[in-house]
A and B are shown apart, each in its own frame.
Chain A
Amino acid sequence: QSALTQPASVSGSPGQSITISCTGTSSDVGAYNYVSWYQQHPGKAPKLLIYDVSTRPSGVSNRFSGSKSGNTASLTISGLQAEDEADYYCTSYTTSSTPVFGGGTKLTVL
């Protein structure tokens, strides 16, 4: 199972919005509405931000939102804040009954 494709890096200024894409295939992202997104700060474990494409767990800011179209999922962060600077990973369930991660995207808040 090949990793999902994410941009290596994105950047934005405080207050702006950014979008991170996550491209897979008809065997993973396109097959199910089981895409999730994680935020990881240096030296920390990943934290769940979005699951099932667009659902936010309790306690996650509504500045984070998710969507999907075909084989590509997206994470949008609005009203960028300095603490949003982190690595972001997408994951999808696959037709092999296993999860697959994206390669990760480093977000820089300028």
Chain B
Amino acid sequence: QVQLVQSGAEVKKPGASVKVSCKVSGYTLTELSMHWVRQAPGKGLEWMGGFDPEDGETIYAQKFQGRVTMTEDTSTDTAYMELSSLRSEDTAVYYCATIQWLAGYYFDYWGQGTLVTVSS
């Protein structure tokens, strides 16, 4: 059973960066395809990017390219998502989630979410 535990809530000023972590247990990060999804207040789910196991590369949604960096520390089984040049519209709950790709394609495990508030 995979468990994903995310870092705590953050408050940032416009223009700053935020780095959210996602600690994996039950599996090693190298066995998983880790992705990030965000949800603005009262809005729907939005895929930001993640690891494509077919290519072995991280892919980003076009909307976030140039502003987001997703990394993994396999020594600690921790994934990170850093979003820069924050603006008020980036206020959202950010989730890490794994995609099952070997048999089908779907998000199977989710972190608890991290609220990032961008406010001056």
Contact = CB atoms under 8 A, between A and B. Distances in A.
Interface stretch (A12-20, A68-76, A89-97): A89-97
Interface in B8-55: 35, 37, 44-47, 52, 54-55
B59 A34 contact: no
Contacts of A36: 105-107
A47 B107 CA distance: 9
Nearest to A55: B104
B80 interface: no
B2 interface: no
Given A45-B110, A45-B111, A45-B113, A101 B104 contact: no
A38 B52 CA distance: 21
Contacts, number: 64
Contacts of A55: 104
Contacts of B110: 45-47
A34 B108 CA distance: 13
Given A34-B104, A47-B110, A100-B47, 19 more contacts: A32-B105, A45-B95, A45-B111, A45-B112, A45-B113, A46-B95, A46-B97, A51-B104, A51-B108, A89-B44, A89-B45, A91-B106, A91-B107, A97-B52, A97-B54, A97-B59, A98-B47, A99-B99, A101-B47
30 contacts: A1-B61, A3-B44, A32-B105, A34-B105, A36-B106, A38-B45, A38-B107, A40-B45, A45-B95, A45-B112, A46-B45, A46-B95, A46-B107, A47-B110, A51-B100, A51-B104, A51-B106, A52-B104, A52-B106, A89-B44, A89-B45, A93-B105, A97-B54, A98-B59, A99-B47, A99-B99, A101-B37, A101-B46, A101-B47, A103-B44
